[in-house]
């Protein structure tokens, strides 16, 4: 990735555009630290509508439907810190490294993004520098402060997934996915605690996809590199499209998250 000194200084975000990062309850007492990388669907005014129809911007391709409301509800129930990102993943995907082909997508689930075609390196870098980097700097600073204060931290990244992929017809008929790569400790504890509290709900490990260094950013960079226990939560988005569903799923997840954190302490210090 080019150095800061090599970056084009022309600004993408203008007066009136939303700030890219929202910080909530950073001094919250819970060990759970929440992030939501695909919360928003804002588009910088300089990019117009990206050439994408307005009804397409309501789909999962533009943002994680319901994830923002779920993350806020979890923050309230747990007393957790939360850091969210406000721009659409069609502008830049804040859960991908810069080098990933789909950090700026040309097509998503069958939908073309005309504004991303033939995008120059300087324009791609500008999106990364003004939207992606501020989010992850905010997460880094908050985690550094927690570490310096000796506060225990479990990193929980909140997402949602579509029940059906339009481009392939693939059906995801489960309700909750818990994702990880190299360290599955917390995900497995959470799966156990969630299943015990919600016996009628379906939970899967590493579905609808698997975390890795190219398909994700928050877990590899802020979780694995720091040695923090972590999980990426994926809730099926038709279950959390409205406030009622978001509140219901926050209720379903809050106590299992607490229990999983307790289980982690028990297994870590009870050896």
Helical pair 67-78 and 243-269, crossing angle rounded to 10 deg: 50
Q: What is the pLDDT of residue 8?
A: 52
Q: Which pLDDT band holds residue 124 (cuts at 50, 70, 90)?
A: very high
Q: What is the pLDDT of residue 265?
A: 84
Q: What is the pLDDT of residue 187?
A: 98
Number of domains in the chain: 1
Q: Which pLDDT band holds residue 270 (cuts at 50, 70, 90)?
A: very low
Answer yes or no: are the C-beta atoms of 162 and 60 closer than 8 Å.
yes
* CATH number assigned to the domain comprising residue 256: 3.40.630.40
pLDDT of 18 higher than 70: yes
pLDDT (mean) for 126-152: 98
pLDDT (mean) for 231-236: 98
Q: What is the pLDDT of residue 1?
A: 53
Q: What is the pLDDT of residue 5?
A: 41
Domain limits for position 259: 4-269
What does the block give as tokens for 125?
């870098």
Answer yes or no: are the C-beta atoms of 67 and 38 closer than 8 Å.
yes
Measured CA to CA, the distance from residue 132 to residue 117 in angstroms comes to: 19
Q: What is the pLDDT of residue 80?
A: 98
pLDDT of 66 higher than 50: yes
């Amino acid at each position: 990735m080019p150095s800061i000194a090599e970056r084009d200084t022309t600004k993408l975000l203008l007066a009136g555009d939303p700030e890219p990062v929202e910080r909530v309850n950073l001094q919250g007492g819970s060990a759970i630290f929440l992030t939501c990388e695909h919360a928003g669907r804002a588009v910088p005014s300089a990019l117009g509508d990206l050439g994408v129809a307005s009804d397409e911007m309501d789909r999962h391709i533009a943002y994680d439907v319901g994830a923002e409301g779920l993350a806020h509800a979890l923050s309230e129930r747990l007393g957790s810190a939360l850091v969210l990102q406000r721009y659409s993943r069609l502008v830049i995907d804040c859960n991908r490294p810069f080098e990933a082909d789909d950090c700026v997508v040309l097509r998503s689930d069958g939908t073309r993004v005309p504004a991303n075609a033939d995008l120059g390196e300087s324009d791609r870098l500008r999106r990364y520098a003004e939207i992606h980097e501020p989010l992850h700097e905010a997460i880094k600073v908050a985690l550094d402060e927690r570490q310096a204060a000796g506060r225990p931290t479990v990193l929980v990244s909140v997402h949602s997934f579509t029940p059906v992929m339009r481009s392939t017809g693939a059906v995801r008929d489960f309700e909750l996915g818990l994702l990880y790569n190299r360290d599955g400790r917390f995900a497995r504890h959470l799966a156990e605690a969630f299943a015990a509290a919600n016996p009628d709900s379906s939970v899967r490990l590493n579905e609808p996809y698997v975390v890795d260094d190219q398909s994700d950013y928050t877990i590899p960079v802020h979780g694995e590199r720091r040695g923090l226990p972590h999980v990426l939560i994926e809730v099926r988005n038709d279950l959390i499209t409205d406030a009622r569903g978001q509140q219901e799923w926050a209720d379903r997840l809050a106590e299992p998250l607490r229990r999983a954190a307790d289980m982690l302490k028990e297994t870590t210090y009870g050896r």
